[in-house]
Amino acid sequence: MSTVENKVIAITGASSGIGEATARLLAHQGLRVILGARRTDRLEAIAAEIRSQGGEAEYRTLDVTNLEDMQAFVEFAQAKFGRLDVVVNNAGVMPLSRLEVLKIDEWNRMIDVNIRGVLHGIAAALPLFKEQRSGQFVNLSSIGGHNVYPTAAVYCATKFAVWAISEGLRQESTDIRVTVISPGVTETELASTITDAEAAEWVGGFREAVIPADAIARAIAFAIAQPAEVDVNEIIVRPIGQMS
């Protein structure tokens, strides 16, 4: 892991699921991690456990839908460790429902967190990465960024957008690495955001085969660990047997 030693990684949505698993794995590998999420108590507990195991971790309350908050998160990382090498734009929500139910507030929440949150992460760190002529964005899309499912039209649209934004940034960049990670069915809290009974029942059946969040963390670690001249652009990770 010599190619990642001492790298500083800022992770959004780090209080549970993929974000938490990524923070724990990378810290174990010797990277310095900054955890961001709304649940400060969870961040504090995770950071304390990482430190107790010899890792380096800091945390800050973060709302990715607020650009100024995201900018402050990036500045916090620089202040704590003197640099920033990777931003993992992981925060996301998934309140599924059929379009005809018109859960417009939930549509807007997905757009705000899943799309604007990623854009804010890019806007906050891109000037720094351009200045230092290096850096990496790891943006979490989904298998829903490759396929569309009933009850998931808006969610899938936001994850298709993450892919499109990432690909555009990749094409515009000559010195910044851009990676899209697309998880299949994974053990996270995403399903807990569903308020629609029909969608919850559908997801319950869809989630019969599931992989741990650590599987996605390992994919993120792999992309980060590549030599500086290597850009892993996209990884899809899903359970064996997941059809789509």
- Dihedral angle sign, alpha carbons of residues 153, 215, 33, 165: negative
* CA-based max dimension of the chain: 52
Residue pair 78/85 in contact (Cβ under 8 Å)? The answer is no
Could you give the angle at the alpha carbon of 150 between the alpha carbons of 148 and 152, nearest 5°? 65
Could you give the residue numbers annotated as active site?
Answer: 155
CB burial of 106-125 (b: ≥16 within 10 Å; e: otherwise) equals bbebbbbbbbbbbbbbbebb
Contacts of 93 (CB under 8 A, 6+ apart): 109, 110, 113, 114, 190, 193
